[in-house]
Amino acid sequence: MTTIIKLLIAALVLNAAAQAGLAYFKLYQFQDAMHEVLLFAPNASDAELTDRVMDLAAEHGVPLDRGSIAFRTERFERAVEAPYVEDVILVPGIYTKAWEFAPTTSVRVIPSGNQGR
């Protein structure tokens, strides 16, 4: 009997680890895709980037709200933050955890114009 209980506990722990791992894997894939968007279109408008990030969120199954996307532009850096909350089922039918994820990425940009001439 104790062996069955130990196996059941081990299966629950492995399942919880797998579910958490999958949630983080999705986060990293989404963050990498956002980085590619910024890398190949650093001078795009905020509206264009917002549309593209929302498309990426739909592709990756990320429950992202359009209003939570924030852009930051500093002298030589363009960054995007897209925080979201996802429910991760750790113990099926018993325990679901709402996890907050905050994918953030940035790229260096070259200022446009003839500033050095």
The alpha carbon dihedral of 41, 45, 46, 49 has a sign of: negative
What pLDDT is recorded for position 117?
46
At position 56, the amino acid (one-letter code) is L
The alpha carbon dihedral of 94, 95, 98, 99 has a sign of: negative
Is it the case that residue 91 has pLDDT exceeding 60? yes
When pLDDT is averaged across residues 89-96 and rounded to a whole number, the result is: 89
Global confidence as pTM: 0.83
pLDDT in tens, 18-74: 999 999 999 999 999 999 999 998 778 899 999 999 999 999 999 999 999 999 988
- Alpha-carbon distances, residue 70 vs 46, 79, 106 (angstroms): 9, 8, 12
Distance CA 44, CA 47 (A): 8
What pLDDT is recorded for position 44?
85
Q: What percent of the chain has pLDDT over 90?
A: 74
What pLDDT is recorded for position 113?
58
H helices present in 1-117, as ranges: 2-40, 46-60
Q: Are 80 and 66 in contact (CB under 8 A)?
A: no
